[in-house]
Amino acid sequence: MERLDKVLSNSGYGSRKDVKKLVKSGKIEVDGIKVKNSDVQVDIEKNKILVNGEQIVYKKYVYYLMNKPDGVVSATFDNYDKTVIDLLSEFDASFAPFPVGRLDKDTVGLLILTNDGELNHRLISPKWHVDKVYYAEIDKAVEEDDIAAFKQGIELDDGYKCKPAVLEIIESDNNGAKVKVTIQEGKFHQVKRMFIARGKKVVYLKRVKFGKISLGEDLAEGEYRELSEAELEILKQV
């Protein structure tokens, strides 16, 4: 059971404040009875809810794919910085989504946001081995022995030994390198710390793939869209 105003808000009829007005105006019917009280509890599976005579389409879960920009934190609230939630429209934010895992403030790229706690749990659990692919720019040349060290498992500054990771060199010379890194874990600053362990610095980091979902070219930094049904099916297959 959920409050009528929440259900209406989650069905595209505006903020809680907007829907309260709508309910008061007498335009809502629940099982054929006019309802003027927003606090009323409804069962979206059983009750037939009409707005102006039209049956509502209720969404419980939302799944967004965002191209996270630089300078924004992967959190639902922050005292100082703009969060990824601040980039959502009021309606999309009304579902109370949260980021699946975290990207650093200066990392850009693919971030999934959802209010589906169960899927979130599976996607971030190390048990499910979800591949995360990053494009990175490094301040120094990257060599074959770095690839071998990543494959072996890098030891981080706190003594943690990372699981084997795949490092691929796109280009590399004495001025620096462009690489692709695939990891299955999500330790704090993991990719940056893996390179620090090799005496190198990540100067640009972008996540391009999460599980089987790719960022693609359609979203500019700061933009987001809902996952398609097909993408959601793929994501749920982890």
Which residues lie near ligand URA (CB under 6 A)?
103-104, 107, 189-192, 205
Nearest approach in angstroms of CB 102 to ligand URA is 7
Of 48 and 163, nearer to ligand URA (C-beta) is 163
- For residue 145, what is the enclosing H or E element? helix 144-152
Nearest approach in angstroms of CB 190 to ligand URA is 4
Measuring CA to CA, how many Å separate 88 from each of 97, 113, 153, 208, 226?
Answer: 10, 10, 37, 20, 11
Of 3 and 198, nearer to ligand URA (C-beta) is 198
- For residue 229, what is the enclosing H or E element? helix 229-236
Of 63 and 195, nearer to ligand URA (C-beta) is 195
Query: Which amino acid appears at position 178 of this protein?
Result: K
**Class of residue 134 by CB neighbours under 10 A (exposed 0-12, middle 13-18, buried 19+):** buried
Of 149 and 191, nearer to ligand URA (C-beta) is 191
Nearest approach in angstroms of CB 96 to ligand URA is 23
Residues 28, 15: Cα–Cα separation, whole Å:
16
- For tokens 């001025």, the residue is 175
Residues 18, 1: Cα–Cα separation, whole Å:
21
10, 48 in Cβ contact below 8 A? no
Is 104 marked active-site? yes
Active-site residue, from 18, 70, 78, 104: 104
Nearest approach in angstroms of CB 77 to ligand URA is 19
* Active-site amino acid positions: 104
